[in-house]
Structure 1
Amino acid sequence: MSKPHEPPRHLLTLQDLGRERILTLLDRAAGLRAQFRAGALPPLLAGRTVVNLFFEPSTRTRTSFELAARRLGALVVNFDIASSSTSKGETLEDTLATLEAMDADAFVVRHKENGTPARLAAHARRAAVLNAGDGNHAHPTQGLLDLLTIRDRKGRVDGLTVTICGDVRHSRVARSDVHGLAALGAGEIRLCGPAALLPAADEFQHCRVFEDFDAAVEGADVIVMLRLQKERMERLAFDEDTYFARYGLDAKRLTRARPDAVVMHPGPMNRGVEIASEVADGAQSAVLEQVANGVFARMAVLEALLRR
């Protein structure tokens, strides 16, 4: 986004976004949620056009961005990558310029390569660019919806102990969650996983790193489980049963956390690999609340960028 005194133009990462702007977006998401559920949401983005540019498969993120834009009254175009001119060799920059010439107002971009949304933002003449996930770099709206869900359940983020477990190395969600949690004053952020799936030692110097999941979950207020991203690995060094025994969250292991600990997962979940069904579907799970909040968090971001 832009400098503190300027209205934002793009959302590429939560890093350095700042506590004030993040809280403003969370408050607005909660306000839009209340308006929608009361049947009193006006078409705030009527006449605007939002283009979804998804170069990777997606269920939750793409659908929730589409719902978010439509609920605000915008026209949504789901760009068909397979049949587009990018398959004929057209550059992403030229594709963006072509669509922007048709008066597109915002581009929601997901790509396997780090930095692609930022690259497109640098070439956008007036449209907003929203990062819907790039490589293992960032997924800022997932970070926002996770923060909103934590605040809904716990009433605050300040001072909480949050454990993030699993494939941290390949996770853009983990990075955006860490940036957002740090900005809002989380008490302790713990990262846990096998050594091969942990980030470089100098990447998150303000986090505590564990390889022992039992120790990492002890006394936690929030536990965020991550998917094993096999598509980003050369090979998995252990079988899934062994992984679940060491790093899966089941009901017994959950008792080590605080009694009111919140369990989260960005999805898609691999049941019996990262999380047991009894936990995923249990009273402490906020997984479906995350999904619902994703629409409202993305509504808040779209409104902030398109009603400047």
Structure 2
Amino acid sequence: MPVVQPLQHLLSMKELSPVQIFQLIEKAEEMNQQRVTPSYNGRFAANLFLEPSTRTKVSFQMAQRKSGFELIDLEGHESSLTKGESLYDTLKTLESLGVELAVVRQSRTGLLQHCASNLNLSLINAGDGCGEHPTQCLLDLYTIYEQFHSFKGLRICIAGDIKHSRVARSNAAALSRLGADVQFVSRPEWQDSSIADHYISMDEAVARCDVLMLLRIQHERHTHQEDTTTYLQQYGLTKEREARMGAQSIILHPAPVNRGVEIDHDLVESGRSRIFRQMSNGVAVRMAVIDSLMKGEL
């Protein structure tokens, strides 16, 4: 039998088998319970965020610091990318200077796969355009698993700007492979047939779902400004719709949340919302991913 090489990078959820996903969920739980404390003292990690980020960037910083790494945080305007240097050459420079782990967010779908093929450091995709966002997907999966302890047969609806969402793309593939029943809600112009052929209404979604995952409208990826004045009533989660959800159903959102657009203001911190729990879980999940990559355990 051929020898399976451990993953050096995490760029896509397609790289992870269900066994590896559960392995990361288990390790994240150990991190959350402080049963495992990684120690990478004296080793270097770099973060290169070329698109705005709050939750992902800060939770990676927290995860790296808790793991003992020395951090190098690069903004795009501070690097030689502004002088025409390629992302690959920037990463190769960091590697040459002793960086062992790089976390990158940038706008070109698939660019990181191209860069990774000749790198010795470990690379984590923190979002690539409309491509994927694997660690966001993993923290979503962990939060769902905390609540239901299984994915098999779970009814999950992802609602919002599907076409431009790397979160939807990563979650759709992973949840289906884990045995969940995944449905989608979206405006016709934001639907994506490469993710799903069939879309349901928000009223259908709230009547059937165990997990409702809401998405932000990604105006920055649209070619023109969208009118969202009626979006909440047509496609969002109103208080009236939330009242028709099942007793055990939960609400997720990768954030940032546009209160009053995709979700009623009062529901963001309601009893069934797990939005801030997702954020909290992001630190443990990213610690688990980093530790697993560094140890060659994936």
TM-score over 0.5 for the alignment?
yes
Letter aligned with residue 178 of structure 2: L
Q: Which residue of 2 aligns with 1:294?
A: 282
Which segment drifts farther, 259-268 or 115-124? 115-124
Q: Using the alignment, how far apart are the partners of 2:88 and 2:270 within structure 1?
A: 45
Deviations 1:223-257 (A, max 9, x none): 000000001011245x3221111011022102332
Q: Which residue of 2 aligns with 1:172?
A: 166
Deviations 1:199-219 (A, max 9, x none): 1x2x135x7422x21112222
Cα deviation, residue 4, structure 1: 8.2
Deviations 1:143-198 (A, max 9, x none): 00000000111222221000110100000001111122112111x10111110011
The root-mean-square deviation of aligned C-alpha atoms, in Å, is: 1.6
The alignment of Structure 1 onto Structure 2 pairs a total of residues equal to 295
Q: Using the alignment, how far apart are the partners of 1:43 and 1:260 within structure 2?
A: 35
Gap runs ≥5 in structure 1: none
Q: Using the alignment, how far apart are the partners of 2:15 and 2:4 within structure 1?
A: 14
SS at match of 1:162: strand
Q: Is the 8 A contact 1:189 1:208 kept in 2?
A: no
Q: Which residue of 2 aligns with 1:81?
A: 76
Q: Using the alignment, how far apart are the partners of 1:24 and 1:268 within structure 2?
A: 28
Letter aligned with residue 29 of structure 2: A
Cα deviation, residue 42, structure 1: 3.3
Letter aligned with residue 168 of structure 2: A
Q: Is the 8 A contact 1:45 1:307 kept in 2?
A: no
Gap runs ≥5 in structure 2: none
Which segment drifts farther, 158-167 or 76-85? 76-85
Letter aligned with residue 231 of structure 2: Y
Q: Are 1:53 and 2:45 an aligned pair?
A: no
Q: Using the alignment, how far apart are the partners of 1:193 and 1:63 within structure 2?
A: 30
Alignment of 1:89-104 (within 5 A): 89-104=84-99
Q: Are 1:194 and 2:187 an aligned pair?
A: yes
- Please give the TM-score of this superposition, normalised by the length of structure 1: 0.92
Letter aligned with residue 7 of structure 1: P
- Please give the TM-score of this superposition, normalised by the length of structure 2: 0.95
Cα deviation, residue 20, structure 1: 0.5
Q: Which residue of 2 aligns with 1:204?
A: 195
Alignment of 1:125-274 (within 5 A): 126-186=120-180, 188-199=181-192, 201=193, 203-205=194-196, 208-210=198-200, 212-237=201-226, 239-274=227-262
Q: Which runs of 4+ in 1 moved over 6 A?
A: none
**Percent of aligned pairs with the same residue?**
38
